[in-house]
Structure 1
C-alpha cells in the first residue's frame, strides 16, 4: 500500500500502546545499580534533599491538563521529566523498593522523596477541575495512569474531528488563499501534536 494512503490514517489507540509509558519495561535493579550510589546518596539527578529546588521550573509546565488536551499535556510532561531522567516514575515498572535489608533502606527513602517531587510537578500541571479527580492518589504512576484512563477518549474524539475538518474544508471562491492554507496547516499541526502525523504528500492533496 503506498505510503500516506488514506487507509493508513488511524486515530490514537485508547490503550496508549505506543505511548511513552508503554515502552519496553525497565528493570528496577538495573536502574538502581546505574543511578544509585549509597556513598554519595545519589538517586538519578537528585543527590541531596535540596536538589529539587534546582528544578522549580518544572512546576510551571504548560499547557495545564484539561479535559480536551491530554495528548499535548502528556507528551510535554513525559519528555520534560525524561530530560532529568525521572520519567521512569510514571510507570509501575519502577515501584518503591520494599526490601528491608539495610543496603536498600536509603533507596526506598530516596524513591519516596523523588516520587513526592514528581507528584508536585503533576499536580501543578493540571487544572483545579482535573485535580479533584486525581488528588487522592499517592504515587506519580497512579496519577499518570488515571489521567490517561480518564482523558484518552477525548484524544480519539479530537483526532476524529480534526481529520474531518481537514478533509471537508475546501477553498471557497473569494477566500484568501493564504488564510485557507494557514487554516489547513493549523489542522495538520494539531494532528502532529496528537502524535498522529500524516504524510506530507497526502496533506498536500487536502489543500
Structure 2
C-alpha cells in the first residue's frame, strides 16, 4: 500500500496519474497548501522541502521499512522501477524517457509555474515578467510540438512517465495564455491522454479533495 500526500496541483496530478494507470492501491492524504498544511511537522518528516507530492511505500521491493519519497520526478521514477511499467527497459528507450522527464522538471514546470505566478498571483502586475514567462511557455510548447511530429507520445510509441509529468502542466494551458489550437500535434497528444480512463479517475480526485 502507498500513502499519497497530495494536493490538486500539476505536480500532485503526476503521481495520481501513475497510480491510477498502474492500478496500485493507495491511500490519499490531502495536504491543503492554501492552509499551510505542508509546514506541519508530520509532513515535513516525509517531505523536508515542504512541497507536495510525497509518498510512503509500505511495501518497498527490498522488503525493508516503509520508504518515503518527495519530489515528483523522483517518485515517478521510483514507481516505474517498482512496477516495471511506463519506463522502457532498453537503454535508448529509457534515456529518451528520462531526458524528457527531466526536461519537464527543469524547464516546463518551473517556467509555467512562474507564468502562473506573475499572471495570476503576484501582488502587482509586472508586464515584463508576465510577457517573459508567457513567451517562454510558448517556446516550450513549440519544443513539444516539434517532438510530437513523428511519434504518438513524448518518448516514442508508448505512454510513459515523461507524458505523465508533462500532461498536468499542459492541462493548465489557458492559465498560461496558451492556445492548443496553435500547436496541433500537442493538441492531439493532449486529447489522447485526457481521454484515458486513468486520467479521468485521477482528475476526479479534484472534486473529492478540493471542490470549487
- TM-score strictly above 0.5: no
Shorter-chain TM-score tier: under 0.3
TM-score scaled by length of structure 2: 0.27
Compare relative contact order (CA 8 Å, sep 6+) and give the higher one, 1 or 2.
1
Q: Which has the larger radius of gyration?
A: 1
TM-score scaled by length of structure 1: 0.27
